Amino acid sequence: MIHVERPLGRALVRAATAPSISRMPRVCWKMEQRGFPLHNPWNGRRYLLSQAVTRRLDTMVARHVELLKQMEENPEESYTYGKELASLAQAVSLHERKEAILAEEKSIQELLEECGDDEDMKKECMETLEQCKEDMEALNRKMRTAVLPKDEDDTRSNAIIEIRAGTGGDEAGLFASELRDTYEKTAKAMNFSCETLSESRTDIGGIKETVISVSARGFGGAGADLDADDDDDFQSSVGPYGFLRYESGVHRVQRVPVNDTRIHTSACSVAVLPLLEESGNAEELLPMSELKIETMRSSGAGGQHVNTTDSAVRITHIPTGITASIQDQRSQHKNKDKALKLIAARVRDLQREEESQKRGAARSSLMGGGDRSERIRTYNYPQDRITDHRCKHSTHGISKILEGGSDDGLVSTFFPLLRDMVREEKMTELEEEELRS
């Protein structure tokens, strides 16, 4: 029997190994209970990933080694490898953790075989092996996420939200206003800033159409913390666009108007677009030769300057026919800047959608940002229930959810479920590609 100075404890065994990884995240556990398809990476005493994930992870690690070698051979060109190296860093770190856990398990197994009749030692070894199992399960989930294709806009882009009242008349306009208020409260709770680019209101205080930009203060596009709980701290790993993108689609509301006794059904459409980081990017995407810029006098309520100066601006992207009109500011220059920002986002969103279709990535309404003509959510006021038709999840307490912030608000209630559904779709694609190769 091996002599040790004190009973073998978990801290002693893990002192020189990788840090502990948390148990199954709360949201994943809830999804599993509801029947969502979560891959189980644990099978008996073997820590198994699908062949597609394993091969993809090995490829990423090998590419990281290759890039480091190229940097050593050509240090003057090292800056050209920085972005790709950063994108591979998470996979490499996870791979190193996996090797550390496997090495730890092997050493504990060897020690267990030499324990003899020392029951205390056996107990400590078994507890440590169980912890290795739990750590590897959590690590497998992280590795499955790390190998999936990344959308840089999720972490690096601010957002533009377009809300339009649809069928339902005044009720649709009132609900559009409530949605706008909800998104602004959510942005404030997340320490994001909001700016209204354009807005058209109804006579009773509702909204016909509004466009707002959501930006993160000091936002640098930091990626997810490898040691953070992916589901409890998901806000820290995404930017405004990544957090809000699943709100795109048709929101249907069923409720009794204040001047009626019957239930009315109305709808609002929401479109969430990634916002280009700098004006230079917008000019690169939209050459001035492709734009038709028109100025005109503003219309509607606005004070003495309305209909006296050509402050309103309408910009048309000639190749696509996409337009953007802004008249909220008295300054023509400010209206033009806002219109350029808006039309750049719309054109880029169209290009993203076309590229996604060419790659065959749009497997469902969730992929590529969402089909904005599809009903995604119903707000049933008589039953005080919100149902998201994509993840088949319902929750009660409409008023509380619409008033909530970053933790218990509308967006954060459904974001984890929808994000995990998208991950499962991407994983299915990866595994299908592996079968075809």
The Cβ of residue 252 has, within 10 Å, a number of other Cβ atoms equal to: 22
Percentage of the chain with pLDDT > 70? 75
Nearest C-alpha neighbor of 424 from the set 391, 395, 392: 391
Tell me which of 306 and 293 has the higher pLDDT: 293
Residue 204 amino acid letter: I
Residue 390 amino acid letter: R
**What pLDDT is attached to residue 72?**
87
Q: Indicate the DSSP class of residue 364.
A: S
Q: What is the arithmetic mean of pLDDT over 3-32?
A: 36
Cβ(268)–Cβ(166) under 8 Å? yes
152-432 belongs to which CATH class? alpha beta
Percentage of the chain with pLDDT > 90? 32
Task: Locate 93 and state its tokens.
Answer: 């770190």
**What pLDDT is attached to residue 369?**
41
**What pLDDT is attached to residue 428?**
84
205: three-class secondary structure by DSSP = coil
**What pLDDT is attached to residue 371?**
46
Cβ(284)–Cβ(193) under 8 Å? no
Task: Locate 157 and state its tokens.
Answer: 């882009």
Q: What is the arithmetic mean of pLDDT over 265-277?
A: 89
Q: Indicate the DSSP class of residue 406.
A: T
Q: What is the arithmetic mean of pLDDT over 159-181?
A: 93
**What pLDDT is attached to residue 348?**
84
95-108 pLDDT, tens digit per residue, is: 999 999 999 999 99
Task: Map out the domains of the chain as residue ranges.
Answer: 10-146, 152-432
Residue ranges in 74-169 assigned as alpha helix (H): 82-113, 119-146, 152-156
Q: 19 pLDDT exceeds 50?
A: no
Element (H, E) at 187: helix 170-189
53-93 pLDDT, tens digit per residue, is: 888 899 999 999 999 998 888 888 777 888 888 889 989 99
The model's pTM: 0.71
Q: Indicate the DSSP class of residue 360.
A: T
Q: 192 pLDDT exceeds 70?
A: yes
**What pLDDT is attached to residue 352?**
78
**What pLDDT is attached to residue 236?**
55
Q: pLDDT-based confidence at 361, cuts 50/70/90?
A: very low
Q: What is the b/e burial string over 30-48, where b = at least 16 CB atoms within 10 angstroms of the residue's CB?
A: ebeeeebebeebeeeeebe
Task: Give Cα separations from 369 to 48, 196, 237 (angstroms).
Answer: 32, 22, 18
Handedness of CA 394, 398, 402, 407 (dihedral sign): negative
Q: pLDDT-based confidence at 284, cuts 50/70/90?
A: low
36: three-class secondary structure by DSSP = coil
**What pLDDT is attached to residue 354?**
78
Element (H, E) at 237: none
The Cβ of residue 307 has, within 10 Å, a number of other Cβ atoms equal to: 14
Task: Locate 321 and state its tokens.
Answer: 């026919």
Q: 430 pLDDT exceeds 80?
A: yes
Which residues share a beta bridge with 388? 377, 393
